Structure 1
Amino acid sequence: MNREELVAYALSKKGAREDYPFGPEPLVLKVGTKMFALIAEDAGGRPAISLKCEPETAYLLRQQYEAVKPGYHLNKQHWNTVTIDGTVPDGDIRGMIDESYALVARKLTRAEKEQLGLELRA
């Protein structure tokens, strides 16, 4: 995956939008008022995406892939930063984006969920 594919996939999620609250970098992807992904370049100029994750899963992904590190400038227990260098399969990256979006969308207020047309759980 490249940066454009990452952004396109993340924006395909219901209610997802781009934001730049920290300046021109990183690109922040939000659902409602909450961020679920940050996309920037690493020191080598490769795209990197930071994603929210359950703590146990975050740890396991870091053990499985060298390109997955604790979230850069984020809560290291709940966020991973993935360098897009070809070593993590695209399907796994999409799965990480899906999980991050789901974790964040689940925490939105009832009003935000209704406004975005997200399903409400009883």
Structure 2
Amino acid sequence: MDAESLLAYCLAKPGAWPDNPWGHDHPVMKVGESTGGKIFAFLGPDGVGVKGGPSREAADEWLARYPGAASVMAYIGRSGWNDLSFSGTIPDEELLEAVDESYRLVVAKLPKKYRPVGWDD
């Protein structure tokens, strides 16, 4: 898995769009209207940041399964966000499932008027 492949995967999700609010080399992926959009994935050259679960405890399962390849995200980790490495330790299918779950968790918290059609299919 690499950032380019994951970007294409994220963009295929209903209502997903890239944003670059901090001017980094890789965008964050958002869902929802531009004024109410929320981040569901932080793309980077070496991995992706995702909402690992509805709570920090649920997100910690990633840390236990993949020590060294999964870590708590700086600043927002206490809210259940993890960094997952593209090192090959985490299978690509699981990285995609993590993005799917992050997307699902973020969209479910959006006001209904900002949820894209087809997001729960």
Q: Which interval holds the TM-score relative to the shorter structure?
A: 0.7 to 0.9
For 1:26 and 1:74, locate their aligned partners in 2 and report how far apart those are by CA, in whole Å: 18
- 1:76 to partner: Cα distance: 3.1
- Indicate the SS of the match to 1:9: helix
Deviates more, 1:72-81 or 1:48-57: 72-81
Question: Structure 2 regions of 5+ residues with no counterpart?
Answer: none
For 1:111 and 1:22, locate their aligned partners in 2 and report how far apart those are by CA, in whole Å: 27
Question: Structure 1 regions of 5+ residues with no counterpart?
Answer: 42-46
Q: 1:93 to 1:119 in 2, by over 3 A?
A: closer
Q: Contact conserved, 2:26 with 2:44, CA < 8 A, in 1?
A: yes
Given the two structures, how large is their TM-score scaled by the length of structure 2? 0.84
For 1:48 and 1:76, locate their aligned partners in 2 and report how far apart those are by CA, in whole Å: 19
For 2:76 and 2:3, locate their aligned partners in 1 and report how far apart those are by CA, in whole Å: 20
Given the two structures, how large is their TM-score scaled by the length of structure 1? 0.84
Instruction: Kindly report which structure 2 residues correspond to 1:1-122, keeping only aligned pairs within 5 A, or say none.
Output: 1-32=1-32, 33-41=37-45, 47-54=46-53, 55=55, 56-66=57-67, 67-113=69-115, 116-118=116-118
For 2:2 and 2:52, locate their aligned partners in 1 and report how far apart those are by CA, in whole Å: 21
- Which aligned segments of 4 or more residues in structure 1 are displaced greater than 6 angstroms? none
Q: 1:79 to 1:30 in 2, by over 3 A?
A: same
- Alignment length (residue pairs): 113
- 1:57 to partner: Cα distance: 2.8
